[in-house]
Amino acid sequence: MPAYHVLDLSSSQMLMLNIALLALIGLGLLHGERRLEDGRRLALLGLLALFGIAGRVLLAPLPNIQPVTLIVLLAGMHLGARHSILLAAVIALGSNLILGHGIWTLYQALGWSLVGCLGALLASRQDSISTLLVAAALSGFLFDFVVSLSILHAVGPESLLPYLVAGLPYDLLHAAGNVTFAAWMGAPLAEMMRRHNLSELSLEAGEGVTSPA
């Protein structure tokens, strides 16, 4: 039986298809988040992890451009370092089970965890768009530097500086991609994180209050 549903797509057509799929997944994230009860931070983290994994896999044809760094940075700003580190580890492992797992997974998880900690340090300025854009750009260089350290398992330290210099164009692409994602989806992601974080904090505060006898 002829496989009429099979089409040969060019690399650019496949990339456009992947971007369309990622947009649909993003819409699904927004719809799914609205169905969550307020304060369900772990459920929200699960949705964010799925979006981050899908984004990294679907945008793999683009060199060093993916939404994960921004997602983890915002998680640090609005949900705290602990939750951003959990998110970083889950996305790194989950996406690399598809893209390829190895020692670099540990460095990617560490790099994104440091990005999340940077976000937590900037929590007091979480409403500043300029702060988010600058932090998003710097996070690209921070993450790439940490991941570059993984080559020391195979080569001597004298090879690190040339490797870093050769990777600068990819660092710039990462930074530019982060800024683009921040301008595109930073506001809705921040709003959903802020809503669930504030709601859970309110619930925790309420549980700690006992009525007078």
Q: Alpha helices of 100-128 — where are they, by DSSP H?
A: 103-121
The answer to whether residue 204 is domain-embedded is: no
Instruction: Give the total number of structural domains in the chain.
Output: 1
Cβ contacts of 28 within 8 Å, gap of 6 or more? none
CA distance 135 to 126: 11
Task: Please report the pLDDT score of residue 202 as a whole number.
Answer: 45
Report if residue 43 sits inside a domain.
yes
Distance (Å, rounded) from C-alpha 124 to C-alpha 212? 35
What does DSSP assign to residue 37? P
Decide if 16 is inside a domain: yes
Q: Can you give the pLDDT at residue 212?
A: 42
Residue 205 falls inside a structural domain:
no
CATH number, domain containing residue 25: 1.10.1760.20
Examine residue 76 and state whether it is found in any structural domain, yes or no. Answer: yes
For the stretch 15-73, pLDDT in tens is 687 777 777 777 777 667 666 665 577 888 998 999 999 999 999 988 999 999 999 99
Tens of pLDDT, residue by residue over 80-108, are 999 999 999 999 999 999 999 999 999 99
Q: List the domain range (segments joined by +) for residue 65.
A: 11-194
pLDDT in tens, 153-184: 999 999 999 999 999 999 999 999 999 999 98
Give dist(CA 4, CA 7) in Å, integer: 8
